[in-house]
Amino acid sequence: MRIVLMLFCSIVLASCSSAPAAVDEQAPHFTLSTLTGEELSLADVEGKRVMLNFWATWCAPCREEMPHMQQAYDESDVAIIAINRTDQDYGAQRVQSFVEEFGFTFPIVLDETGEVAKQYGVITIPTTIFIDEAGNVIERISGPVTAEQIDSYMQ
């Protein structure tokens, strides 16, 4: 039993500690599909400040923070990419219905395998990663972001 627990802990720690998206490090590259089937890559927003938000439709704090994200998207030049944890959600159709219901217009991409979440070391939903113009991670927030936090980043 002890060996099994040690092995389990080693696997978990190895998967968490290998996440390259630490603050002050280069953000990992990714390309994911949007709800319309187009591809969106982190390289598509190169040279801009970026807000990556990992979320799911069932997540109550995600529902609270997304209107703040929409307002920021409408009022600033910061790129916002909402990465749906489709691997932990109810599928693309549910995501599409959710987006239509709330009228979100910022890019939504689908992390169908959870691989991008792993690259960024995302453990909790929501998690937000702020990236500077040089492509470096400058802040990670586990849990919901407030309008004030988003505004602070925009400045």
Averaged pLDDT for residues 19-40? 89
Q: What are the start-end ranges of the H helices in 43-85?
A: 60-75
pLDDT at 1 over 60: no
Tokens of 3: 């060996």
Residues 20-154, CATH architecture: 3-Layer(aba) Sandwich (3.40)
pLDDT at 16 over 60: no
Predicted pLDDT at 42: 97
Predicted pLDDT at 134: 96
Give just the sign of the alpha carbon dihedral 97, 74, 107, 70: negative
| 15 — pLDDT class (breaks 50, 70, 90) | very low
pLDDT at 86 over 70: yes
Contact 131, 138 (CB under 8 A): yes
Predicted pLDDT at 56: 97
Straight-line distance from the first to the last Cα atom of the chain, in angstroms, rounded to the nearest whole number: 52
Query: Who has greater pLDDT, 154 or 57?
Result: 57
Tokens of 93: 């159709």
Averaged pLDDT for residues 76-99? 94
Q: With a threshold of 0.75, does the pTM exceed it?
A: yes
